Structures are given as structure tokens and as C-alpha cells.
Amino acid sequence: GSLSSWYVWSCLGIYPLAGTSSYLLGSPSVESAELRFSKGLLNIKVERKSPNAIYPVGYRLNGRTFECPCLPVAEVEKGGELVFVLDGKPKSVRSPIPECF
């Protein structure tokens, strides 16, 4: 069970950080997905700046733009739209697990 769930989260580009109330965001391997939480429906979408873009350079949650790869669980589980913006070149991030939303 745990390896299967890790694979699903990995494909979605979302990683639950054990022991915290945050999700770490990465690079999804799907173009879109839909997650049903008890508080709402989350639509995941991917915007690529080029056909081979695999590196996350930004995100939008319900229209709000941010660059850091971390979101509070409570915000994600309210639902809405989460957009991953991917580019062909990686972008450096100051801290791997910032509290920035």
C-alpha cells in the first residue's frame, strides 16, 4: 500500500510531508487530474513553456501565483485549481521546505 500511494502522489506532483501540515510540490507526470477531498474538488493542470518542459518554475492555486514548492494541506484540500508551470530549465529555490503561502 505505501509504495502504491507514493507512486500516485508522485505522478500528481504532490508529496505529503509526513509529520507536517504541508504538501511539497514537484513536477507532475500527468497533464491533468482531479482529486476529491471532503472539503472540495481540486483540479490539477500543467502549463508547459516548451514541449519538453519538466522543471517546475511556478505554481498557481485558485489564481494566486507563487514560486515556492510548498502548500498548506488546508489550502489544497479546500479544492479549486492547482496549476504547475513547467519550463525546460530548472530554477533554483532558496529553501526546499519554506512556509511561503
Distance CA 2, CA 10 (A): 12
Report strand pairing: 40-48 vs 80-87.
Answer: parallel
DSSP 21-54: SEEEE---SSSEEEEEETTEEEEEEEEESSTT--
Distance CA 18, CA 41 (A): 22
Amino acid at 76: V
* pLDDT tens-digit map of 22-57: 999 999 999 999 999 999 999 999 999 988 899 999
- For 74-93, what is the mean pLDDT? 90
Q: Are 68 and 40 in contact (CB under 8 A)?
A: no
